[in-house]
C-alpha cells in the first residue's frame, strides 16, 4: 500500500515508525514531516488544512490510505474531502470532530448519552461568566470552547485566577478559540487517557496512558501540551476501563450515529478517576501527543492493520495483540517553553543513540540545516523506551536523554512518578 500520513510532530513520527514496520506498507509519505521523519519516509510540502490540495496530492501519488494525525485538518474537513474523493481515510468527519473542536458540543452529547462528566455552563460574554464563577466559587475550570492546541484550559484554584482566565480568553489571547468559554466544576482524582478506535458502530480499545501536563517536576508550573507519558496507566485498571467503555464511550458513539454524524477514527477519552469510577474530562479526536509515542512503541506494526480495519468499518473483526510490557517517553523542550523560547538551536548526540523496537527518539519539532539537527518548536524530542517494567523503561529513557547534547533544552526528570 501507498500510505500518506498528515502532520509533522512527534505523534506522526511515532505513527510513521510503526506503520513502516508493517510489510503492507510499500511507500510512506508524511506531510509536512520533520527531520526525524525524513529518515524513514518521504516528506512532502503540503497544506494539510486544504482538503482539495491533499486530495489532489493523494491522487497524483496513487495513495491507498491516508492517516490524519493532528486535530486541525480534521476540524477543517480534510477527512471529508478525501472520503468524498474515494480515498480510504482514518480520521473523523468535521461534524464528528466537533467532539474535540467544541467543548460545549461534547457536553451536549454527553448529556444526551447520559455519560458521567463535570457540571458545566457556556458563556459568550465575560460579565455573566465572572458572575457564575463568583456564585460557584473555586476551585473551578475555565476552558476556551474552540481548538487551542491543548493550551485553552485553566484549572483555577481561586476565584481571582478564574476571573483572570475569563478576561484573558475574552480579551483575545487565544483568538477565535476563546470567543466562547465553558466553565466546569472542578473534578478531583487522577487523570488518565483511554484510546479507543471507532468505525462508526464498533469500538476497540487500543490502550491506556498517563500524560504529564505541567512543565515542572512534581506536576508544578504552567500547563503544556504534555511533557511525557507512559503506558499502560495502572490507575485505569480493567474494571474502570470497562465502566468507561460501557458508560461513556459506547453511549457517545451511539449518540453520534443517532445524530447522523457517526464517529470514525480514534476517540481519546481524557478521564478523571476517583473512588474507582471514571468521569469524562474531555474527548480528543486523534491520538494524544506524547501518548501516541508510548502506544506505538507497544503496538508496533499491527497499528496499520487496526487503522485500516477502522477505516473500512470492520473493527468487529479486529483484535489487539498486547505484550505484557511498558513504555515511557520523556519530552525534551526548548528552555522557556511553554512561554517564549529560542528556535534554531543545534542538537548533538542523536546519531549515537539506539533506534530499535525498545529505544527510539521521536522528533516533535526539528529540521535539518547544513547537516545538523536544529530545534524548531517548543516541544522538540520525545525520548522513548519500552521495558519489561515501567522502572526499566524509565531508566532506559533517561539514559538516552543524558546522552543528548542540547544545552538549550530541558525535560522533567520524574516522568512516571505516579506509578512508580
Q: What is the CATH number of the domain that holds 370?
A: 3.90.600.10
Q: Based on the fold, state whether residues 168 and 225 are members of the same structural domain.
A: no
Q: Which of 269, 316, 289, 276 is nearest to 109 (CA)?
A: 269
What is the pLDDT at residue 153? 87
pTM: predicted TM-score of the whole model, two decimal places: 0.92
What is the pLDDT at residue 63? 98
Q: What is the CATH number of the domain that holds 237?
A: 3.30.470.20
**Is residue 132 included in any domain, yes or no?**
yes
Q: Where does 300-370 have alpha helices with state H?
A: 302-311
Q: Which residue has the cell 515508525?
A: 17
Taking only the tens place, the pLDDT of each residue in 251-296 is 999 999 999 999 999 999 999 999 999 999 999 999 999 999 999 9
Taking only the tens place, the pLDDT of each residue in 125-148 is 999 999 999 999 999 999 888 766
Q: What is the CATH number of the domain that holds 140?
A: 3.30.1490.20
Q: Based on the fold, state whether residues 196 and 286 are members of the same structural domain.
A: yes
Structural domain harbouring 155: 125-179
Q: Based on the fold, state whether residues 357 and 282 are members of the same structural domain.
A: no
Q: Based on the fold, state whether residues 224 and 312 are members of the same structural domain.
A: yes
118 forms bridges with which residues in the sheet? none
**Is residue 112 included in any domain, yes or no?**
no
Alpha carbon dihedral 189, 195, 196, 197, in 10-degree steps, equals: 160
Distance of CA 104 to the CA centre of its chain: 19
Q: Which residues of the chain have pLDDT under 50?
A: none
**Is residue 157 included in any domain, yes or no?**
yes
Q: Based on the fold, state whether residues 247 and 136 are members of the same structural domain.
A: no
Q: Based on the fold, state whether residues 168 and 139 are members of the same structural domain.
A: yes
In the chain, the N- to C-terminal Cα span, in Å, equals 41
Q: Between the CA of residue 255 and those of 111, 263, 396, what are the distances in Å?
A: 10, 10, 43
Number of domains in the chain: 4
Q: Based on the fold, state whether residues 232 and 282 are members of the same structural domain.
A: yes
Spell out the residues 6+ positions from residue 181 whose beta carbon is closer than 8 angstroms to its own. 122, 123, 124, 129, 142, 143, 144, 145, 166, 169, 170
Instruction: Count the alpha carbons within 13 Å of 170 in the hemisphere toward its beta carbon.
Output: 19
Q: Based on the fold, state whether residues 165 and 194 are members of the same structural domain.
A: no
The answer to whether the peptide bond before residue 338 is cis (omega within 30 degrees of 0) is yes
Q: Based on the fold, state whether residues 297 and 204 are members of the same structural domain.
A: yes
Amino acid at each position: 500500500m501507498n500510505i500518506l500520513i498528515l502532520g509533522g510532530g512527534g505523534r506522526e513520527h511515532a505513527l510513521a515508525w510503526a506503520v513502516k514496520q508493517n510489510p503492507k506498507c510499500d511507500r510512506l509519505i508524511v506531510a509536512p514531516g520533520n527531520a526525524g521523519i525524513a529518515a524513514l519516509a518521504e516528506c512532502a510540502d503540503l497544506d494539510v488544512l486544504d482538503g482539495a490540495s491533499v486530495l489532489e496530492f493523494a491522487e497524483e501519488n496513487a495513495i491507498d490510505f491516508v492517516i490524519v494525525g493532528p486535530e486541525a485538518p480534521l476540524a477543517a474537513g480534510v477527512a471529508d474531502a478525501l472520503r468524498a474523493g474515494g480515498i480510504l481515510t482514518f480520521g473523523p468527519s468535521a461534524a464528528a470532530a466537533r467532539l474535540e473542536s467544541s467543548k460545549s458540543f461534547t457536553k451536549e452529547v454527553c448529556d444526551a448519552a447520559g455519560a458521567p462528566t463535570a457540571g458545566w455552563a457556556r458563556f459568550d460574554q465575560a460579565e455573566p461568566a465572572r458572575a457564575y464563577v463568583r456564585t460557584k466559587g473555586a476551585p473551578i475550570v475555565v476552558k476556551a470552547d474552540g481548538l487551542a492546541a491543548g493550551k485553552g484550559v485553566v484549572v483555577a484554584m481561586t476565584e481571582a485566577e478564574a476571573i483572570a482566565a475569563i478576561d484573558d480568553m475574552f480579551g483575545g489571547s487565544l483568538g477565535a478559540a476563546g470567543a466562547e468559554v465553558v466553565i466546569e466544576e472542578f473534578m478531583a482524582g487522577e487523570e488518565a487517557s483511554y484510546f479507543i478506535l471507532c468505525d462508526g458502530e464498533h469500538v476497540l480499545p487500543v490502550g491506556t496512558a498517563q500524560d504529564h501536563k505541567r512543565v515542572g517536576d512534581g506536576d508544578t508550573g504552567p500547563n503544556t501540551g504534555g511533557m511525557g507519558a507512559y503506558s499502560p496507566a495502572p490507575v485505569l485498571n480493567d474494571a474502570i476501563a470497562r465502566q468507561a467503555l460501557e458508560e461513556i464511550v459506547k453511549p457517545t458513539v451511539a449518540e453520534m450515529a443517532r445524530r447522523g454524524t457517526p464517529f470514525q477514527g480514534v476517540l481519546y477519552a481524557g478521564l478523571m478517576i476517583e473512588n474507582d469510577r471514571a468521569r469524562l474530562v474531555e474527548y480528543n479526536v486523534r491520538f494524544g501527543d506524547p501518548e501516541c509515542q508510548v502506544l506505538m512503541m507497544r503496538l508496533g506494526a499491527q497499528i496499520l492493520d487496526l487503522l485500516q480495519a477502522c477505516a473500512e468499518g470492520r473493527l468487529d473483526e479486529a483484535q489487539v495483540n498486547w505484550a505484557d510490557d511498558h513504555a515511557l517517553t520523556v519530552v525534551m523542550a526548548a528552555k522557556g517553553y511553554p512561554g517564549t523560547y529560542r528556535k534554531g538551536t543545534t542538537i548533538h548526540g542523536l546519531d549515537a543513540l539506539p533506534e530499535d523496537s525498545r529505544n527510539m527518539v521521536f522528533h516533535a519539532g526539528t529540521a535539518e540545516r547544513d547537516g545538523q539537527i536544529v530545534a524548531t518548536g517548543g516541544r522538540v524530542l520525545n525520548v522513548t523506551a519500552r521495558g519489561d517494567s515501567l522502572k526499566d523503561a524509565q531508566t532506559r529513557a533517561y539514559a538516552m536523554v543524558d546522552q543528548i547534547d542540547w544545552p538549550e533544552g530541558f525535560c522533567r526528570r520524574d516522568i512516571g512518578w505516579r506509578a512508580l
